Amino acid sequence: MKSNFKDALEESKGVTFPLDAAIIKERTDVYFDRTQEIVSHFGDIEVTYAVFIRRPVIAACGMAVGWLKNVAKEQGFEIAIQEVYEEGQWVGAGEPLLYVTGLFTRLAPLETLLLQRLGAACVAAHNAYQMATALPATPFLAMDARHCAGFEMQEQMAYAAAVGSHAAQNEGAVGFIGNANDATSAFFDQNHGLGTMPHALIGYAGSTVRAAEMYAEVYPNDPWTVLVDYFGKEITDSLAVCRRFPEKAASGGLSVRLDTHGGRFLEGLDPAISYGIVEKYAPGAIRRYRSESELRDLVGTGVSVAAIWRMREALDEAGFPKVKIVVSSGFNVSKCKTMHDAHAPIDVVGSGSFIPNHWSETYATADIVAYGDELRVKVGREFLLKKVKEGQRGE
């Protein structure tokens, strides 16, 4: 079974499938197939592609590069790949990520599937990096799988989160410590997914305390994270669970998870009370807000700064200072920054919000910049030639 990042990457579907020329031909854009046939008719030539993305990203090219190498090995042709940036490095908008050199007839059919493996991963890695550095002392749990469009995207997003996390960890952040499913857990050097209970289990049990009892009976030795927003009584149910399991609460083995949806306030809060709580625990934070979305994250509905501080206050006042608070629900880059600015007492963030929100930003592009020994690129893309020329000069 995969147990580390390297194995997870090498064995992922995005790297190992498809390799067969016939399947690739069916999946690629038809004009690439026709280009292959035309070049075969008039004479093959070695070409170099430059691959880039139009926005800043974190280099997360492992799946794309691994797939290219496996295709070349399976089909029996030579390919040269220059990774301009190391995995996890920041890349400016429009900067070439890869240069790929090989026979035109071999590379032309690969462009569509190559780009599929690159853009979204690099953007998601950038988002994960920003989230982790926004809350550098807080562990993150990747909860992206349910939002992915199939197995391949699920692997790609887990890989991206791990790459972004590694980049953040190199700067001292805790980053992503795991994810929510077994299949991609090895990207985070785990052998299983992390997580305890969904809302469905609370509904089945009929009460939050009963759901905790059921979980405790089946998984008695695990740390427990109890979801507390099902009945809209986050404070009441959290304290009830703590009182039902005082030893677990005192040992630090019990957490409560806030996942209150954006249609209502946490139990006992309203706008005025929320303002007061933020002013009490994070004075000045409201006066520093810059947008309506930031203000909502501070004192609005859902899992706000006020909600988190109120939960911490209630737990401490009731004598449960070691019970941890896990938060989820829309923790994107902006929300993480707001939480940090207001010193929200978060122990763990569960989020899949590193998945790119504006999909058009993930579109990677490949242009040929050299045909044989002649440098040539379409007008407007001359910037792609810079590093090719530097390579020729040995810089």
pLDDT of residue 334: 97
Q: Thinking of the domain 124-351, which architecture would CATH place it in?
A: Alpha-Beta Barrel (3.20)
Contact 378, 345 (CB under 8 A): no
Global pTM? 0.95
Confidence (pLDDT) at 387: 72
CB atoms within 10 A of CB 395: 7
Cβ pair 120, 126 in contact under 8 A:
no
- Report CA Rg, the chain: 25
| pLDDT tens for each residue of 145-204 | 999 999 999 999 999 999 999 999 999 999 999 999 999 999 999 999 999 999 999 999
State mean pLDDT over 118-140: 99
Confidence of residue 288 (pLDDT cuts 50, 70, 90): confident
To the nearest 10°, the Cα dihedral for 286, 287, 288, 291?
A: 70
Region 365-374: mean pLDDT is: 98
Cβ-based neighbours of 6, under 8 Å, separated by 6 or more: none
Determine the straight-line distance between the first and last CA of the chain, rounded to whole angstroms: 43
Percentage of the residues of the chain whose pLDDT score is greater than 90: 95
pLDDT of residue 1: 60
Provide mean pLDDT across the span 103-131: 99
Residue-wise pLDDT tens digits, 201-225: 999 999 999 999 999 999 999 999 9
How remote is the C-alpha of 202 from its chain's centroid?
A: 27
Nearest to 189 by CA among 9, 53, 43: 9
Query: pLDDT value at position 388?
Result: 73
Task: Report the C-alpha gap between 100 and 83 in whole angstroms.
Answer: 9
**β-sheet bridge partners, residue 255:** 225, 324
Q: At residue 394, does pLDDT exceed 70?
A: no
Quote the DSSP letter at residue 146: G
> What residues does CATH 3.20.20.70 cover in the chain?
124-351
Pick the CATH number of 5-121+359-393 from 3.40.50.620, 3.90.1170.20, 3.40.50.720, 3.60.21.10: 3.90.1170.20
At 90 the pLDDT is 98
Round to whole Å and give the CA distance between 96 and 126: 16
CATH 3.90.1170.20 positions along the chain are 5-121+359-393
